[in-house]
Amino acid sequence: MLILASRSPRRQALLRAAGIDFRVVMPDMLDEIPAMPGARYGYIARRVALTKALDVAKRADGIILAADTIVVCGYEIMGKPRDEDDARRTLKKLSDCWHSVYTGVALVLDDRRLLGHERTEVAFRRLSNKEIEAYIATGESMDKAGSYAIQGDGAAFVRAIRGCYTNVIGLPLPKVLSMLAEFCPGDFRA
Report, as residue numbers or ranges, the catalytic residues. 68
Who contacts 54 (Cβ-Cβ below 8 Å, separation ≥6)?
Answer: 108
Kindly tell me the burial class for residue 35, based on how many C-beta atoms sit within 10 Å of its own C-beta (0-12, 13-18, 19 or more). exposed
Classify 49 as helix, strand or coil.
helix
With CA atoms as reference, report the closest residue to 67 among 127, 108, 109. 108
Alpha-carbon distances, residue 183 vs 45, 107, 112, 154 (angstroms): 19, 8, 9, 34
Alpha-carbon distances, residue 163 vs 57, 66, 120, 122 (angstroms): 31, 21, 5, 8
